[in-house]
Amino acid sequence: MNKAQLVEAIADKMGGRQQAADAVDAVLDAIVRAVVAGDRVSVTGFGSFEKVDRPARYARNPQTGERVRVKKTSVPRFRAGQGFKDLVSGSKKLPRGGEVAVKKAPKGSLSGGASATVKKAAAKKATAKKTTAKQAAGKTAAAKKTTAKKTTAKKATGKTAAPAAKTTTTAAKKTAAKKAPAKKATATKAPAKKSTARKTTAKKTSARKK
């Protein structure tokens, strides 16, 4: 049976030849892509497809008998399931044409196997780590911004306080300078009073002598 005959065999069940051909193509494409990626495709009651790595080895050319070195390669492998083996060996009877020869998958198995759950859990952990890293980065950035604002505010207050102190010191110096000449003036006035007193005493003595 080739692919065309397989499509014809399931055309009645799929509702038409085109639908059957699309179904066969989709199934085969999914199997090939999974095996190439290194995944194992297992169909309950039918078998499993997987990728097998063959190490480098020596082989013989069947025509010449010469020993030839074969490089390391990977090959696909199909292992028949136990139900398939039992039907082929005859230990179990093949069901009629209307029934399904392959055993149906148990409930819950079509929602995803253990590998799918593991992948989902790993994806969740990776997203959680990314979110925590983003939150930590945001917190550090906010802390840096607040510290920068505080330092700029301190610098600004220091700059404003310094001119105020300078203005107060200059004002104090000016007032001291203004007060200083007044004291000198009073000091110079005192000798003038003494000179007038001496003049009056001299006049009195001259009047007495006369």
**204 in any annotated domain:** no
Residues belonging to the chain? 210
Q: How far apart are CA 12 and CA 15, in angstroms?
A: 5
Q: How is residue 200 written in tokens? A: 């009056």
Contact (Cβ atoms closer than 8 angstroms) between residue 93 and residue 67 = no
**Residue 5: its pLDDT value, please?**
95
156 occurs within a structural domain: no
Distance of CA 156 to CAs 2, 87, 119, 150, Å?
87, 90, 55, 10
Instruction: Give the separation between CA 40 and CA 46, rounded to whole angstroms.
Output: 14
Q: How distant, in Å, are the alpha carbons of 5, 69, 143 from that of 35? A: 25, 26, 51
The pLDDT, as a whole number, for residue 101 is 76
Residue 167 CA to residue 160 CA, distance in Å, equals 11
pLDDT at 183: 43
In a domain, 168, yes or no: no
Q: What is the pLDDT of residue 158?
A: 54
- CATH number for 89: 4.10.520.10
Q: What tens digit of pLDDT does each residue of 79-118 get?
A: 999 999 999 999 988 887 666 777 666 666 655 544 444 4
Residues of the domain holding 19: 3-104
Per-position DSSP letters for the chain, written without gaps between them: --HHHHHHHHHHHHTSHHHHHHHHHHHHHHHHHHHHTT--EEETTTEEEEEEEE--EEEE-TTT--EEEE--EEEEEEEE-HHHHHHHHTSSPPPPTTS-SSPPPPTTGGG--HHHHHHHHHHHHHHHHHHHHHHHHHHHHHHHHHHHHHHHHHHHHHHHHHHHHHHHHHHHHHHHHHHHHHHHHHHHHHHHHHHHHHHHHHHHHHHHH-
Q: For the chain, what is the domain count?
A: 1
Q: Is residue 127 part of a domain?
A: no
For the CA atoms of 121, 125, 131, 132, what is the dihedral angle to 10 degrees? 150
Whether residue 75 is contained in a domain is answered as yes
Rounded distance between C-alpha atoms, residue 157 and residue 144, angstroms? 20
Q: Is residue 88 part of a domain?
A: yes
Q: What is the pTM of this model?
A: 0.49
Residue-wise pLDDT for 15-67, tens only, equals 999 999 999 999 999 999 999 999 999 999 899 999 999 999 999 999 999 99
Judge whether 13 lies within some domain. Answer: yes
Please check whether residue 48 lies inside any domain of the structure: yes
Q: What are phi and psi of 128, to 5 degrees?
A: -65, -40
